[in-house]
A and B are shown apart, each in its own frame.
Chain A
Amino acid sequence: MRFIVSSSSLLKQLQNISGVLNTNNSLPILDHFLFEISENKILVTASDLETTISTSIEVEAKEEGTIAIPARLLLDTLKSLPDQPLTFTIEEDENFGIEISSDYGKYRLSGQSGDEFPKTPEVEAPSTLEVPGELLFNAIEKTIFASGNDELRPVMSGVFFQLTDEGLIFVATDAHKLVKYERSDVSAKKSADFIMPKKPLNLLKNILSSMDDQVNIEYNDTNAAFKFDNISLVCRLIDGKYPNYEAVIPKENPNVLSISRTALLGSIKRVSIFSSKTTHQVRLKMSGSELQISAEDADFNNEANERLTCQYEGEDMSIGFNSRFLIEMLSNLDTEEVNIAMSAPNRAGILTPATGNDENEKVLMLVMPVMLNN
Chain B
Amino acid sequence: MEGNREIKEFRKIIHIDMDAFFASVEQLDNPELKGKAIAVGGSKERGVVAAASYEARKYGVHSAMPSKIAKAKCPHLIFVKGRHDRYKEVSNQIMEIFKAYTDLIEPLSLDEAYLDVTYNKKNIRSAIKIAQLIRKDILEKTRLTASAGVSFNKFLAKTASDLDKPDGLSVILPDEAIDFMKELKIEKFHGVGKATAKRMHENGIFKGEDLMKLSRKELIQKFGKAGKHYHNIITANDQRAVVNNRIRKSIGAERTFSEDIHQAEEYFEKLRLVHQKLMQRIERVGRKGRTLTLKIKYHDFEVRSRSRTLDFYTKDEQLIWELAVDLLQNPAWPEKSVRLLGLSLSQLDIKEKPKNGQLTLDF
- A interface vs B, CB < 8 Å? 23-24, 150-152, 173, 175-176, 178, 243-245, 248, 276, 278-279, 281, 320, 322, 346, 348, 366, 368-373
B357 touches A371 (CB 8 A): yes
A248 touches B361 (CB 8 A): yes
A370 touches B358 (CB 8 A): yes
Chain B residues 340-363 with CB under 8 Å of chain A are 351-352, 355-363
In the assembled complex, B317 has its CB within 8 A of some CB on chain A? yes
B361 touches A176 (CB 8 A): yes
The CA-CA distance from A243 to B359 in the complex, in Å, is 17
A279 touches B351 (CB 8 A): no
A279 touches B358 (CB 8 A): yes
A370 touches B359 (CB 8 A): yes
Chain B residues 47-77 with CB under 8 Å of chain A are none
Report the minimal beta-carbon distance from A369 to chain B, rounded to whole angstroms. Answer: 6
For B359, what are the chain A residues with a Cβ–Cβ distance below 8 Å?
Answer: 176, 346, 368-371
Q: DSSP majority for the A interface? A: loop
Contacts beyond the supplied A151-B286, A176-B360, A244-B363: 7 A-B pairs with Cβ under 8 Å: A245-B363, A279-B356, A279-B358, A281-B357, A368-B358, A368-B360, A370-B358
The CA-CA distance from A368 to B355 in the complex, in Å, is 12
For B362, what are the chain A residues with a Cβ–Cβ distance below 8 Å?
Answer: 248
In the assembled complex, B109 has its CB within 8 A of some CB on chain A? no
Please, which residue of chain A has its CB at the minimum distance from the CB of B225? A299
In the assembled complex, B318 has its CB within 8 A of some CB on chain A? yes
Across the interface, B357 reaches (CB within 8 A) one of A245, A248, A370, namely A370
For A346, what are the chain B residues with a Cβ–Cβ distance below 8 Å?
Answer: 359
A348 touches B361 (CB 8 A): yes
Please, which residue of chain A has its CB at the minimum distance from the CB of B349? A149
Q: Which 3 A-B pairs have the closest CB atoms?
A: A243-B363, A371-B357, A368-B359
Report the minimal beta-carbon distance from B327 to chain A, rounded to whole angstroms. Answer: 22
For A320, what are the chain B residues with a Cβ–Cβ distance below 8 Å?
Answer: 357
CB within 8 Å: A-B pair count: 50
Q: DSSP majority for the B interface? A: loop
- B interface vs A, CB < 8 Å? 286, 317-318, 351-352, 355-363
A23 touches B318 (CB 8 A): yes
For A276, what are the chain B residues with a Cβ–Cβ distance below 8 Å?
Answer: 356
The CA-CA distance from A371 to B357 in the complex, in Å, is 5
B351 touches A175 (CB 8 A): no
For B360, what are the chain A residues with a Cβ–Cβ distance below 8 Å?
Answer: 175-176, 368
The CA-CA distance from A178 to B355 in the complex, in Å, is 17
Across the interface, B361 reaches (CB within 8 A) one of A23, A279, A368, namely A368
Please, which residue of chain B has its CB at the minimum distance from the CB of A173? B361
Across the interface, A24 reaches (CB within 8 A) one of B286, B317, B361, namely B317
| 28 A-B pairs in the complex with CB atoms less than 8 angstroms apart | A23-B318, A24-B317, A150-B351, A151-B286, A151-B351, A152-B351, A173-B361, A175-B361, A175-B363, A176-B355, A176-B360, A176-B361, A178-B361, A243-B363, A244-B363, A245-B363, A248-B361, A279-B356, A279-B357, A281-B357, A346-B359, A368-B358, A368-B360, A368-B361, A370-B355, A370-B356, A370-B359, A371-B357
For B358, what are the chain A residues with a Cβ–Cβ distance below 8 Å?
Answer: 176, 279, 322, 368, 370
For B356, what are the chain A residues with a Cβ–Cβ distance below 8 Å?
Answer: 276, 278-279, 370
The CA-CA distance from A320 to B356 in the complex, in Å, is 12
Report the minimal beta-carbon distance from B214 to chain A, rounded to whole angstroms. Answer: 20
Please, which residue of chain B has its CB at the minimum distance from the CB of A348? B361
For B352, what are the chain A residues with a Cβ–Cβ distance below 8 Å?
Answer: 152
The CA-CA distance from A322 to B357 in the complex, in Å, is 10
For A243, what are the chain B residues with a Cβ–Cβ distance below 8 Å?
Answer: 361, 363
The CA-CA distance from A169 to B237 in the complex, in Å, is 54
Report the minimal beta-carbon distance from B215 to chain A, rounded to whole angstroms. Answer: 16
For A176, what are the chain B residues with a Cβ–Cβ distance below 8 Å?
Answer: 355, 358-361
For B351, what are the chain A residues with a Cβ–Cβ distance below 8 Å?
Answer: 150-152
The CA-CA distance from A221 to B267 in the complex, in Å, is 53
The CA-CA distance from A23 to B352 in the complex, in Å, is 27
The CA-CA distance from A348 to B363 in the complex, in Å, is 14
For A373, what are the chain B residues with a Cβ–Cβ distance below 8 Å?
Answer: 357
The CA-CA distance from A372 to B286 in the complex, in Å, is 32
Please, which residue of chain B has its CB at the minimum distance from the CB of A368? B359
B355 touches A279 (CB 8 A): yes
For A244, what are the chain B residues with a Cβ–Cβ distance below 8 Å?
Answer: 363
Please, which residue of chain B has its CB at the minimum distance from the CB of A372? B357
Report the minimal beta-carbon distance from A243 to chain B, rounded to whole angstroms. Answer: 4
Report the minimal beta-carbon distance from A291 to chain B, rounded to whole angstroms. Answer: 21
